Structure 1
Amino acid sequence: MERDLELTDADFARIRELIYRRAGIVLAEHKREMVYSRLAKRLRHHGLTRFGDYLARLERQPEAREWEAFTNALTTNLTAFFREAHHFPLLGEHLRGRTGPVRIWSAAASTGEEPYSIAMTLAETLGPRAQPARVIGTDIDTDALARARAGVYPLEQVHKLEEARVKRFFQKGTGRQAGLARVRPDIRAMVEFESLNLLAPGWALKGPFDAIFCRNVMIYFDKETQARILERFAPLLKPDGLLFAGHSENFSYITRAFRLRGQTVYTLA
């Protein structure tokens, strides 16, 4: 592959170290092409031709806003409405009899599909009692969070849902918004989005939560980081709270704070 920018082995090693320190993400060797294609845009934006110069600039300015762009470029935002669909009926059953305010944390909210799916589940399960409920969606990627707050998605993505859900929870765009759909205001009002780095020494959000969704993000961390995050989740859950993991994640051998309840669903040990 012919490249117009210089990415040396040393540069790639520095990138892997910096993103691990910054966000806990472990970049495998085979991610080199992905790193080049995503960060090349940042170099061109700054008129640079060598990754070494870009990294040196970053390290000279530890508080620079470019760190945000660097992190956003290297995070992965693969998501969908009602992804891993078996989790949502379980959540509904867990909350069906609740009378107090419900609070749920989506710890890797990405572009918003997961927290909005949670809010839709609450609306379907609790009816009018869902309105005081709050879903907190957090992510390290500020670009993804901006899209999440807008709540606007391509129609082809929305039309993968059942027709009844599309009619109930989305507004179809017209004119310049043709081909797009927006989450209805009553559902958007239930969801708050905040920037949060799971590796940060302190988290601004407070528990307790009825459920925490942390799905398909732990796979980017090493075992030590996974264990540390899971131990911080435990005191934020209600005693009967649920922790939802991704389909390829297994927390049973990482921490004693949680025990497996069912398919990728955990409770406090």
Structure 2
Amino acid sequence: MGNVLTTTEPGSGADPGQWSGLGQLERDLVLTDEDFTQIRKLIYQRAGIVLAEHKREMVYSRLAKRLRHHGLIRFSDYLARLARQPEAREWEEFTNALTTNLTAFFREMHHFPLLAEHVRQASGPVRLWSAAASSGEEPYSLAMTLLESLGPKASDARVVATDIDTEALARARAGVYPIEQVRKLDEARVKRFFQKGKGRHEGFARIRPEVSSLVDFQSMNLLAPQWPVKGPFDAIFCRNVMIYFDKETQARILERFAPLLKPNGLLFAGHSENFSYISKVFRLRGQTVYTLASHR
């Protein structure tokens, strides 16, 4: 644990004057202002993520386990270690630790009926891209939508799923989720697309092969000069990731999305993202759904 509360349990007979507020945390690791500034700079350079000033506690708690793993007590020593080894795998651990993964199956439900209608009208094999795949819930939701919408033709479709977080991608490839998370879906989808775990896997559910076979996972940094994905795509899902980038980075990524979409392709954004004022490449079609401005 990165932070330890300094309070005493109620009813212990401790002197009330010795109680401290819940917001006061005792730290065993040293994070200076200079360290925090350097971390913000490095994660921006590495992943385009803009960390606000108020994210200091998050940075401390998420990177603390990396320091303890290496037997360090000062963040400055950890940063020096990274600087000495520019190609070390620890950079991957650093990035993974500071990447936020909040996702769910069929998150922002209103997107999926529109996607289903769009792919039914598509010509040729359908290709979709989940550009922030996280632990797999989104790309698997896309694959389920393809199976429901296209029937036997879905076998020719593909979902490309990319993310910068390699640990999240490992969980995505495994396709195993807590049963409580899966039960939030309607019963028909659970029965069709998941296998219930037994024995040591009790309490978990696994994505069925007919779903997972449609998804190709690969590691990718949206800031990389070259992307390993090739279009054209019928739709690109880039939801709830652009909020971590500054406007300049957002505009640059949107411009790179454009040539990877089919002329009538769709770009799906997160509920709190608005691309209309960032780039003229896309125009708003519906609720957080965009199409190429050149397409009418």
Q: TM-score range by the shorter chain?
A: over 0.9
1:141 aligns with 165
2:219 aligns with 195
- Amino acid in the other structure paired with 1:96: R
Alignment deviations for residues 88-136 of structure 1 (CA, whole Å, 9 cap, x no partner):
0000001113341110000000000000000000000000100110000
Give the alignment partner of residue 86 of structure 2, picking from 56, 62, 66.
62
1:3 aligns with 27
2:109 aligns with 85
1:113 aligns with 137
- Amino acid in the other structure paired with 2:148: E
For the pair 1:21 / 2:45, whether they are aligned, the reply is yes
Question: Using the alignment, how far apart are the partners of 2:242 and 2:35 within structure 1?
Answer: 25
Question: Using the alignment, how far apart are the partners of 1:187 and 1:153 within structure 2?
Answer: 14
Give the alignment partner of residue 267 of structure 2, picking from 224, 243, 248.
243
Unaligned runs of 5+ in 2: 1-24
2:122 aligns with 98
What percent identity do the matched residue pairs reach? Answer: 81
Unaligned runs of 5+ in 1: none
SS of alignment partner, residue 81 of structure 1: coil
Question: Using the alignment, how far apart are the partners of 2:63 and 2:112 within structure 1?
Answer: 36
Higher RCO structure (Cα 8 Å, ≥6 apart): 1
Q: How many residues align?
A: 269
Root-mean-square deviation (CA, aligned residues, Å) is 0.5
SS of alignment partner, residue 105 of structure 1: strand
- Amino acid in the other structure paired with 2:62: R
For the pair 1:156 / 2:166, whether they are aligned, the reply is no
Alignment deviations for residues 15-54 of structure 1 (CA, whole Å, 9 cap, x no partner):
0000000000000111111100010000000000100000
Instruction: Give TM-score scaled by structure 1 length.
Output: 0.99
SS of alignment partner, residue 138 of structure 1: strand
- Amino acid in the other structure paired with 1:75: T
SS of alignment partner, residue 131 of structure 1: helix
For the pair 1:234 / 2:258, whether they are aligned, the reply is yes
For the pair 1:223 / 2:251, whether they are aligned, the reply is no
2:281 aligns with 257
Alignment deviations for residues 187-214 of structure 1 (CA, whole Å, 9 cap, x no partner):
0000010000000011011000000000
Question: Using the alignment, how far apart are the partners of 2:157 and 2:104 within structure 1?
Answer: 22
1:180 aligns with 204
- Amino acid in the other structure paired with 2:220: L
Instruction: Give TM-score scaled by structure 2 length.
Output: 0.90
Question: Using the alignment, how far apart are the partners of 2:183 and 2:26 within structure 1?
Answer: 39
| Structural mapping, 1:30-69, within 5 Å | 30-69=54-93
Question: Using the alignment, how far apart are the partners of 2:242 and 2:270 within structure 1?
Answer: 8
Question: Using the alignment, how far apart are the partners of 1:158 and 1:31 within structure 2?
Answer: 31
- Amino acid in the other structure paired with 1:130: A
- Amino acid in the other structure paired with 1:13: T
Question: Using the alignment, how far apart are the partners of 1:99 and 1:211 within structure 2?
Answer: 13
- Amino acid in the other structure paired with 1:34: M
- Amino acid in the other structure paired with 2:69: H
Question: Using the alignment, how far apart are the partners of 1:129 and 1:98 within structure 2?
Answer: 11
Question: Using the alignment, how far apart are the partners of 2:264 and 2:122 within structure 1?
Answer: 12
SS of alignment partner, residue 26 of structure 2: coil
- Amino acid in the other structure paired with 1:221: F
Question: Using the alignment, how far apart are the partners of 1:102 and 1:131 within structure 2?
Answer: 10
**Displacement after TM superposition at 1:64 (Å):** 0.6
